[in-house]
């Protein structure tokens, strides 16, 4: 409680000192402004200003320019927008107000004022907290738990003695020793023995119940009980003869074993005896194993022993902890960060067998997967993730679209008849011949014919008209576009270019029976015609790229009437091919040809060659269009 009150008092003193420091800072600014106002009378000028949405940097610069002041404003103040209204106040008061309002700092160099954002001094660090010694003792089971990491031995022994009421004495040569160990719920005497051994000390129990810790002298075997007349656990184990087990141990990295239907528990104990290692069992190891391994390490042996079982192991501070996978001390939680793939869809890729007995959570902020559960299962999943976490190629696709269109048409003929009287002859000859002759012009032509020949033709009536038309057209249109696409390996890239036209739909609804009302609704419906290209690339290991290509092209045709929807013709094809990196491929075949030969004229005469051109109209047209697509993929890593 006293320590808590001390912290509160320190916090109050700190807040008061910060407030006092802020007041002193603004007082110093005001005094400095008054001092330089002698040489800079503009600081005492009164201003009337009203601003809205202006950056703080521009506002201060405007005041400086208007009052002949030398003020340097930091660029960081350009992001601060202000809304203020000042009336009949001095420039000094405005600057002090802005410093308080927006936490600004003023530095004075001669008659130059430098204004920037104020950086408050760092808060004082809180006093260091005393390190907690993690020692727990279960009096009912005489079980001791130690979780130590570079702790002072004197503090550890004091804590153990206080929680267990068992006296432990230190020899003078170990009082300044730093110790580390992790032991979970182990009998008190055995836990102290393991603790002493793992930190290079020896433990002796005196006849009066005291424990003495001293430097380790001659190396001795740790036993479950070293009272006189009691054999050590190693001596007891050595006399056992395990049927079906052959074990040869040179060191932890060279173990040879041959076992046939031998208890896993017995194998673990035999290996621990031969290697003189410390281990702790959370529960009895059940099951048998048949295996034959030569020159393997201890970790490889344990992995093979516990594979396809409900048991696993974990090495902590030199002690092998062995038990069921779900045991609290054997679970692990780790975060695996994907380097080259997104975490969003990774859960769909992981096989169900690898997810069993594991809890998986996506952590999108770090593009990571949180894995919690059995250590062997977690390591197996991490190995799988490393295999699929490879660089995904990006394919840049250059597309060149060439649309070639060629058309030729010929239209000619003579039209004559009766209609509205035409007073004059008019029309054009080049580039299109389209001339309308009046009745007077026709009669002049007839009269000239009558004078120069023996034929006597009569005159036409005033409402007679006569016209001649002749036009030949020839055109070539070549459209070229070069869009560029990019996509990940195995994903589609889409390109669509087109037009949209609309037509009207009218619906007539009659509402009401006694006083019917006719409601007409007009709706504009869209019709689209476009060129759509879909490309799905797949990169092989030999620098080959498989392309799945789909091309669809549609064009509008003439409407059958003004109110009808526009006609539409479509062409499409799909292709799958393989190309090398940076190799170009040509896709063609979308070709359309049309020929039109039509005419109108007098019966029978319109069928006679040459003569039919004088007794009717003829139209000939020929159109050809071809679409070529060039595709060039490039792999980018």
DSSP 552-569: EEEEEE--SSTTSPPEEE
Phi first, then psi: give them for residue 525, nearest 5 degrees.
-100, 135
Distance CA 235, CA 253 (A): 25
User: What pLDDT shows up at residue 307?
Assistant: 83
Q: What is the mean pLDDT of residues 280-308?
A: 85
> What's CA 88's distance to the chain center, in Å?
56
User: What pLDDT shows up at residue 476?
Assistant: 67
Q: Same CATH topology for 134-215 and 331-388?
A: no
Burial of 261 (C-beta count, 10 Å sphere; 0-12/13-18/19+): exposed
Distance CA 547, CA 359 (A): 39
User: What pLDDT shows up at residue 421?
Assistant: 67
User: What pLDDT shows up at residue 601?
Assistant: 63
User: What pLDDT shows up at residue 606?
Assistant: 60
Above 80 in pLDDT, residue 29?
yes
* Residue 421: CA count within 13 A, CB half-sphere: 5
At residue 4 the predicted structure's pLDDT band, cuts being 50, 70 and 90, is very low
Selected from 3.55.50.30, 3.30.450.40, 3.40.50.300, 3.40.50.10140, the CATH number assigned to the domain covering 245-324 reads 3.55.50.30
- Is the bond preceding 438 in cis, omega lying within 30 degrees of 0? no
Q: What is the mean pLDDT of residues 38-42?
A: 84
Q: What is the mean pLDDT of residues 92-113?
A: 84
Q: Quote the DSSP letter at residue 561.
A: S
User: What pLDDT shows up at residue 479?
Assistant: 65
User: What proportions of the chain, in percent to the nearest 5, are helix, strand and coil?
Assistant: 25, 45, 25
Distance CA 11, CA 7 (A): 6
At residue 265 the predicted structure's pLDDT band, cuts being 50, 70 and 90, is confident
User: What pLDDT shows up at residue 376?
Assistant: 79
Q: Per-residue pLDDT tens for 419-471?
A: 676 667 777 766 777 777 777 777 777 777 777 766 666 677 777 766 777 76
Which among 265, 266, 307 has a CA at the least distance from the CA of 282?
265
Distance CA 487, CA 369 (A): 25
What average pLDDT does the chain have?
77
User: What pLDDT shows up at residue 602?
Assistant: 63
Selected from 3.55.50.30, 3.40.50.620, 3.40.50.2000, 3.90.1150.10, the CATH number assigned to the domain covering 134-215 reads 3.55.50.30
Q: What is the total residue count of the chain?
A: 637
Above 70 in pLDDT, residue 260?
yes
For the chain, the structural domain boundaries read 4-117, 134-215, 245-324, 331-388, 420-462, 478-636
Q: What is the mean pLDDT of residues 392-413?
A: 80
Above 80 in pLDDT, residue 136?
yes
Q: Which two tokens stand for residue 305?
A: 């022993």
The CATH number of 331-388 is: 3.30.1370.120
How open is the CA angle 568-573-579, to the nearest 5 degrees? 145
User: What pLDDT shows up at residue 497?
Assistant: 80
Above 80 in pLDDT, residue 510?
no
The residue written with tokens 């950056």 in the block is: 55
At residue 333 the predicted structure's pLDDT band, cuts being 50, 70 and 90, is confident
User: What pLDDT shows up at residue 82?
Assistant: 81
Which among 531, 448, 537 has a CA at the least distance from the CA of 492?
537
What pTM was estimated for this model as a whole?
Answer: 0.42
Q: What is the mean pLDDT of residues 530-554?
A: 85
Fold for the domain defined by 4-117: Phage tail protein beta-alpha-beta fold (3.55.50)
Above 70 in pLDDT, residue 590?
no
Q: Which residues contact 400 (CB under 8 A, 6 or more apart)?
A: 480, 481, 482, 629, 630, 631, 632
Q: What is the mean pLDDT of residues 501-506?
A: 80
- Of 631 and 521, the one with more pLDDT: 631
Above 60 in pLDDT, residue 6?
no
User: What pLDDT shows up at residue 7?
Assistant: 46
Sign of CA dihedral 447, 449, 452, 455: negative
Q: Which two tokens stand for residue 504?
A: 């009207």
**Cβ atoms of 635 and 539 closer than 8 Å:** yes
User: What pLDDT shows up at residue 237?
Assistant: 39
Report the share of the chain in percent with pLDDT over 70.
Answer: 82
| Weakest-pLDDT range from 296-310, 361-375, 620-634 | 620-634
- Of 389 and 129, the one with more pLDDT: 389
At residue 608 the predicted structure's pLDDT band, cuts being 50, 70 and 90, is low
At residue 480 the predicted structure's pLDDT band, cuts being 50, 70 and 90, is low
Distance CA 485, CA 93 (A): 60
Report the share of the chain in percent with pLDDT over 90.
Answer: 0
At residue 512 the predicted structure's pLDDT band, cuts being 50, 70 and 90, is low
Distance CA 368, CA 608 (A): 86
Quote the strand ranges of 110-253, DSSP E. 112-117, 134-138, 143-152, 168-170, 178-187, 201-205, 211-215, 245-251
Phi first, then psi: give them for residue 221, nearest 5 degrees.
-80, 130
User: What pLDDT shows up at residue 142?
Assistant: 84
């Amino acid at each position: 409680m006293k320590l808590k009150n001390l912290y509160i008092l320190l916090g109050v003193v700190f807040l008061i000192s910060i407030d006092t420091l802020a007041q002193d800072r603004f007082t110093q600014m005001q005094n400095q402004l008054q001092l330089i106002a002698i040489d800079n009378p503009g600081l005492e000028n009164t201003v009337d200003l009203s601003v809205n949405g202006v950056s703080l940097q521009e506002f201060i610069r405007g005041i400086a320019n208007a009052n002949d002041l030398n003020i340097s404003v930091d660029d960081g103040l350009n992001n601060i927008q202000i809304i203020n209204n000042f009336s009949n106040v001095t420039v000094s008061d405005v600057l002090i107000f802005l410093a308080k309002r927006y936490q600004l700092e003023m530095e004075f160099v001669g008659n130059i004022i430098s204004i920037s954002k104020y950086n408050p001094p760092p808060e004082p660090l809180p006093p260091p907290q005393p390190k907690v010694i993690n020692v727990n003792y279960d009096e009912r089971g005489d079980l001791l738990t130690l979780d130590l990491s570079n702790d002072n031995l004197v503090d550890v022994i004091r804590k153990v003695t206080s929680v267990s009421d068992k006296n432990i004495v230190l020899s003078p040569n170990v009082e300044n020793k730093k110790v580390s160990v992790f032991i979970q719920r182990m009998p008190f005497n055995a836990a102290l023995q393991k603790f002493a051994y793992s930190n290079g000390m020896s433990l002796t129990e005196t006849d009066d119940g005291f424990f003495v810790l001293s430097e380790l002298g001659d190396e001795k075997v740790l036993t479950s009980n070293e009272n006189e007349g009691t054999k050590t656990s190693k001596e007891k184990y050595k006399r056992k003869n395990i049927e079906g087990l052959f074990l040869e141990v040179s060191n932890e990295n060279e173990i040879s074993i041959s076992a046939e239907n031998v208890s896993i528990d017995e194998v673990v104990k035999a290996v621990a005896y031969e290697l003189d290692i410390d281990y702790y069992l959370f529960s009895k190891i059940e099951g048998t194993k048949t295996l034959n391994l030569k020159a393997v390490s201890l970790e490889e042996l344990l992995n093979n022993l516990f594979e396809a079982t409900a048991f696993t192991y974990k090495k902590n501070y030199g002690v092998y902890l062995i038990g069921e996978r779900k045991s609290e001390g054997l679970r692990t939680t780790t975060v695996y960060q994907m380097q080259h793939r997104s975490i969003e869809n990774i859960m769909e890729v992981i096989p169900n067998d690898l997810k069993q007995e594991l809890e998986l959570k996506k952590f999108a902020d770090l593009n990571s997967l949180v894995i919690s559960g059995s250590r062997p299962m977690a390591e197996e999943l991490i190995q799988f993730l490393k295999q699929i976490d490879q660089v995904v190629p990006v394919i840049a696709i250059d597309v060149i679209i060439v649309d070639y269109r060629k058309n030729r048409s010929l239209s000619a003929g003579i039209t004559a008849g009766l209609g509205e009287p035409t007073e004059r002859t008019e029309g054009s000859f080049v580039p299109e011949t389209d001339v309308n002759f009046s009745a007077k012009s026709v009669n002049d032509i007839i009269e000239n014919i009558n004078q120069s020949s023996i034929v006597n033709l009569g005159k036409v009536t005033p409402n007679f008209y006569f016209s001649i038309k002749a036009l030949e057209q020839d055109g070539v249109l070549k459209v070229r576009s070069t869009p560029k696409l990019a996509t990940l390996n195995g994903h589609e890239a889409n390109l669509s270019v087109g037009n949209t036209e609309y037509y009207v739909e009218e619906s007539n609804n009659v509402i009401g029976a006694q006083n019917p009302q006719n409601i007409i609704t007009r709706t504009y419906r869209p019709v689209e015609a476009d060129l759509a290209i879909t490309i799905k690339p797949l990169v092989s290991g030999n620098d080959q790229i498989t392309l799945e290509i789909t091309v669809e092209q549609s064009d509008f045709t003439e409407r059958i009437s003004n109110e009808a929807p526009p006609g539409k013709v479509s062409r499409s094809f799909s292709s799958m091919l393989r190309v090398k990196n940076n190799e170009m491929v040509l896709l063609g075949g979308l070709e359309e040809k049309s020929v039109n030969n039509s005419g109108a004229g007098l019966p029978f005469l319109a069928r006679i060659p040459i003569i039919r051109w004088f007794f009717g109209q003829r139209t000939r047209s020929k159109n050809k269009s071809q679409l070529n697509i060039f595709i060039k993929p490039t792999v980018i890593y």
